[in-house]
């Protein structure tokens, strides 16, 4: 399977600041990347789907101006949490899929723990 | 809408015990079904999958059968090991306009003691 990395693995920031999380596909070209959010002891909730070179598609209830997603290349997608607030504290996970793979199979990054003080 | 319900954990077993983690789903059409596993400190990994009714997915001694009549995809293993301790997620892909999107259950924590 594909190898996916995320950076940083953990970040603490002050309320009102912006935080960027990177998701990298290390060994294949990812035409599609997914961003999930996971609250403690809860399931993963899909936030948005990004396709390389086009705008991300956000799930209902997810603020696109708050969670900026950029998928400028086939190996990198970034999620920027703008003007973060304590309620944005969560575990953010990305996954990648490729039209050259069976796209139902997603490969997940290890996640980024965000804590907003 | 689509949803996945897993049995609540945590599940604690002794080594070599039999494991069952129940999973039921609600979906329109004919979804594909998955089990993902998340080991401590790692990302989710695909454990097994089934794409149509009566298919059996299997991997590393784990099995799950796609039961359309009961809308279930229960995970089983005949003899668990300490190394199986992890969080297990059941998920579905409803296909169609949702192709590629996964809907997850809440996860079940499994702890296996020696």
**pLDDT tens string B82-114:** 999 999 999 998 876 556 678 899 999 999 999
pLDDT at A102 over 70: no
Could you report the per-residue pLDDT of B17-29, keeping only the tens digit for each? 999 999 999 998 7
pLDDT of residue A99: 57
Q: Under an 8 A CB cutoff, do A93 and B101 touch? A: no
Measured CA to CA, the distance from residue B35 to residue B45 in angstroms comes to 9
B79 touches chain A (CB under 8 A): no
Q: Under an 8 A CB cutoff, do A1 and B46 touch? A: yes
Could you report the per-residue pLDDT of A50-98, keeping only the tens digit for each? 888 888 999 999 999 999 999 888 889 999 999 999 999 999 999 987 6
Q: What is the DSSP string of A20-69?
A: EEEEEESSS--SEEEEEEE-TTS-EEEEEEEETTS--EEPTT--TTTEEE
Taking CA atoms, what residue in B is nearest to A101?
B100
């Amino acid at each position: 399977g594909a190898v996916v990395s995320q950076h940083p693995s953990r970040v603490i920031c002050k309320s009102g600041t912006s935080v960027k999380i990177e998701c990298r596909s290390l060994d294949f070209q990812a035409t599609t990347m997914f961003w999930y959010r996971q609250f403690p002891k809860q399931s993963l909730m899909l936030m948005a789907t990004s396709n390389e070179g086009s705008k991300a598609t956000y799930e209902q209830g997810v603020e696109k101006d708050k969670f900026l997603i950029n998928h400028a290349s086939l190996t990198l997608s970034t999620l920027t949490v703008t003007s973060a607030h304590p309620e944005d504290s969560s575990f953010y996970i990305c996954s990648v899929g490729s039209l050259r793979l069976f796209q139902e199979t997603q490969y997940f990054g290890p996640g980024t723990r965000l804590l907003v003080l | 809408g689509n949803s996945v319900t897993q049995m609540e954990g945590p599940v604690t077993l002794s080594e070599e015990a039999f494991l069952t983690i129940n999973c039921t789903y609600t979906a329109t059409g004919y979804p594909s079904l998955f089990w993902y596993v998340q080991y401590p400190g790692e990302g989710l990994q695909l454990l097994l999958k089934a794409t149509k009714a009566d298919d059996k997915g299997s991997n590393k001694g784990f099995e799950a059968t796609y039961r359309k009549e009961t809308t279930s995809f229960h995970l089983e293993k005949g003899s668990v090991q300490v190394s199986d301790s992890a969080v297990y997620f059941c998920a579905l892909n409803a296909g169609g306009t949702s192709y590629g999107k996964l809907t997850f259950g809440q996860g079940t924590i499994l702890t296996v003691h020696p």
